[in-house]
Amino acid sequence: DADVTQTPRNRITKTGKRIMLECSQTKGHDRMYWYRQDPGLGLRLIYYSFDVKDINKGEISDGYSVSRQAQAKFSLSLESAIPNQTALYFCATSEKGWTTPLSYNEQFFGPGTRLTVL
């Protein structure tokens, strides 16, 4: 089955370390997203990419960077991790809207990566 996978699933690291979270998909979707989930705050968009050459900041991009290495891969990096980046991180994908550029298509989520920064 076509899927969205994330590695690692769990990670504990120390303040100041560089961390990369990876997302791969076999759905053939053009669009990919990174969210973080915090209790009481829900899901917040960090970065999104509508194709390999198109990367956009979300609402909470400070302290993060991304790389879209291929249509199927979208990595999230924390250059210097800090404790308030402790959260559950989700990758998601969606098809490009075929009717208009503004079409919204269902997002398919990965299983999540639990990151703890000590």
- State the Cα–Cα distance between residues 112 and 67, nearest whole angstrom: 18
3-state secondary structure of 43: strand
Does 101 engage in binding with another protein (CB under 8 A)?
yes
Identify residues 56-95 at the interface with another protein (CB under 8 A).
56, 58-59, 90, 92
Site size for another protein, by CB under 8 A? 27
Question: If you write DSSP's letter for every residue of 45-108 in order, what string do you get?
Answer: EEEEEEETTEEEE-TT-TT-EEEEEETTEEEEEESS--GGG-EEEEEEEEPPPSS-TT-----E
Does 111 engage in binding with another protein (CB under 8 A)?
yes
Residue 17 beta carbon to another protein: minimum distance, rounded to whole angstroms: 28
Residue 14 beta carbon to another protein: minimum distance, rounded to whole angstroms: 29
* Contacts to another protein by CB under 8 A: 33, 35, 40-45, 48, 50, 56, 58-59, 90, 92, 97, 101-104, 106-112
